[in-house]
Amino acid sequence: MQRLPGVGPKSAQRLALHILKRPEAEVEALAQALVDAKKQIGLCSVCFHLSADPVCEICRNHNRDNGAICVVADSRDVIALEKTREYKGKYHVLGGVISPIDGIGPEQLTIQALVRRVSQQKTQEVILAISPSIEGETTTLYIGQLLKPFTKVTRIAFGLPVGGDLEYADEVTLARALEGRRELD
């Protein structure tokens, strides 16, 4: 249980005790639901956001602007940005940030697919929305350099503390950060 995000030793113990007290059929149903979720949910083949279908709902939505791609580290950031209802373009989920200490280089992320996407379709703007940690900054600058020959590259204006996570920002702060985006130098 402790391997689940946000579950510490105490919560893990509470969950274990709860499960022990439940009827076996109920626990089996819960386990099956987790296995099904794991089997059904994959990554969108275009933007790498979590999706039960080969291409996610956002990528399939023709009412959304194809000319804008918002680049985020994680699927949780897509969900956070969607809550603002401000952004009408598409996304690209990197699957993390560049972090040599953790052995994560550009090859471990979906950066190549992003460059391919941007160079092959008419992209008016790429918006980098990556948390401003040291690794996030490195990732932002790296991708910015790669994409500048193809399109306009902007980054969202963080009113967030350095190291602040996108997913913990409230909707108003995120909407403002998106609105106040500026071109990467």
Residue numbers of the site for Zn ion (CB under 5 A)? Answer: 44, 46-47, 49, 56, 59
56 or 127: whose CB is closer to Zn ion? 56
In the complex, least distance from residue 29 CB atom to Zn ion, rounded to whole angstroms = 30
Q: Which residue lies nearer to Zn ion by CB, 96 or 164? A: 96
Cβ proximity to Zn ion, 66 vs 133, nearer residue? 66
Q: How near is the Cβ of 42 to Zn ion at its closest, in Å?
A: 11
CB 116 to Zn ion: min, Å = 14
* Nearest CA among 66, 61, 62, 82 for reference residue 178: 82
- How far apart CA 79 and CA 77 sit, in angstroms, is 5
26 versus 53: smaller Cβ distance to Zn ion: 53
Q: Which residues contact 140 (CB under 8 A, 6 or more apart)?
A: 128, 130, 132, 155, 184
* Minimum distance of Zn ion from residue 113's CB (angstroms): 11
Q: Supply the DSSP string of 153-164, one letter for each residue.
A: EEE----SPTT-
Distance between CA 111 and CA 125 in Å, rounded? 16
